[in-house]
Amino acid sequence: MPKSDNSRELFPVVDLAGRVVGSATRGECHNGSMLLHPVVHLHVFNSRGELYLQRRPLWKDIQPGRWDTAVGGHVDYGESVEEALRREVREELGIVGFVPEAVAVYPFRSEREYELVHVFRTVYDGEVRPSDELDGGRFWTAAEILENRGKGLFTPNFEGEVSLILK
């Protein structure tokens, strides 16, 4: 049986300042309604400056098969951004001992959804264990990322964040 996202999962709906103004299901948030909902992204660098990227599985409802931020996930209704970040990192990569550094918060609009993206970065040299939520992942050099930018290999979110996180 193919995997799929839970369209009934409940997300907070927020204003541009991040204040919760309501709630909606994943299905409602991803159906073109443009309900602004918060997400977290963590960019994981190793001490050599390489950046870990995940490959999105083909069953995902948004950007299937593309390379993306190491960790990206929705904030659940009733959960803080920090709680969501730690939960998503644990679930997706099996990492619990990391120190997040806030990078930016920005709104991102696609043809199907509207997200308030909370961007973090960290340096981590421990074991990375991608879950079955992902289609694997690997560390990329900055040169590899820049060389492949604009070729449809990466998600639009990631392409937009490259300049924020590569120094």
Domain boundaries, the chain: 10-165
User: What average pLDDT does the segment 138-158 reach?
Assistant: 95
- Strands 36-45 and 114-123: what pairing? parallel
Q: Report the CATH architecture of 10-165.
A: Alpha-Beta Complex (3.90)
DSSP string, 137-159: EEEE-HHHHHHHTTTTSB-HHHH
Q: CA-CA distance, 22 to 19, in Å (whole number)?
A: 9
Band of the pLDDT at 110, cuts 50, 70, 90? confident
pLDDT at residue 89 in the model: 96
Q: State the maximum Cα–Cα separation within the chain, in Å, rounded to a whole number.
A: 43
Sign of the CA dihedral 155, 157, 160, 162?
negative
* Cβ within 8 Å of residue 164, ≥6 positions away: 103, 104, 119
Sign of the CA dihedral 153, 70, 33, 110?
negative
Whether 45 shows a pLDDT value over 70: the answer reads yes
Chain segment 115-126, per-residue pLDDT in tens: 999 999 999 999
Q: Hey, what's the torsion of the CAs at 48, 51, 86, 81, to 10 degrees?
A: 120
Lowest mean pLDDT among 33-42, 73-82, 131-140: 131-140
pLDDT, averaged across the chain: 92
User: What average pLDDT does the segment 36-43 reach?
Assistant: 98
**Which pTM does this prediction carry?**
0.90
User: What H or E segment, with its residue span, contains residue 26?
Assistant: helix 26-29
